[in-house]
């Protein structure tokens, strides 16, 4: 499949071969934890630390096929999304979630029609203070994610437009 056929899942390897340096490749090795391994869409962002209040709020709003990129700073101390928040993302039309941190309820999330890439899992709940920032540029492993840029994810990794 080529990137000119964006009606279905896009192979990140093929897309990179076609577009090269127009795309940034995330070197961090995320785990595929959702029911959809390949997903893409316009970026929405959250920057937070061990607090998933904003994640819950944003994923409970219309997603319109977007991908939420959550920069949790790589902290593995608390989960930033669980099965109820992930189910709300599906109900609200989100294509996927990329979390620089862990999730919880991974068995249930794996059954959902949602792309989820995260660093792993941790059963510990996070704070619910809604501290952080929404729709701001975030950087993960040296790669910039700007709200509105297209992101593509599959088994090979994550690409984002420069």
Q: Which residues are annotated as a binding site?
A: 82-85, 104-105
Closest CA to 94 of 139, 123, 129, 57: 57
Length of the chain counted residue by residue = 162
φ, ψ for residue 107 (rounded to 5)? -65, -45
Query: Binding site membership for substrate: which residues?
Result: 82-85, 104
Backbone angles phi, psi at 149, to 5 degrees: -70, 150
> What are the structure tokens assigned to 162, written together?
């420069």
Q: Report the DSSP beta bridge partners of residue 43.
A: 67
Binding residues for Mg(2+): 105
Q: Which two tokens stand for residue 36?
A: 């959809």
Show the DSSP H helices in the chain as ranges: 12-19, 53-59, 83-91, 106-109
């Amino acid at each position: 499949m080529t990137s000119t056929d964006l009606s279905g899942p896009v192979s990140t390897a093929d897309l990179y071969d076609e577009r090269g340096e127009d795309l940034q490749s995330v070197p961090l090795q995320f785990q595929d934890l959702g029911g959809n391994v390949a997903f893409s869409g316009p970026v929405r962002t959250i920057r937070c630390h061990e607090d998933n209040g904003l994640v819950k709020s944003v994923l409970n709003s219309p997603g319109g096929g977007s991908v939420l990129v959550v920069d949790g700073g790589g902290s593995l101390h608390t989960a930033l999304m669980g099965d109820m928040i992930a189910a709300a993302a599906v109900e609200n039309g989100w294509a996927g979630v990329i979390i620089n941190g862990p999730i919880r309820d991974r068995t249930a999330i794996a059954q959902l029609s949602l792309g989820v890439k995260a660093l792993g899992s941790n059963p510990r709940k996070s704070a619910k203070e809604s501290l952080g920032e929404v729709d701001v540029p975030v950087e993960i492993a040296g790669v910039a994610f700007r709200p509105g840029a297209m992101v593509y994810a599959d088994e090979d990794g994550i690409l984002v437009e420069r």
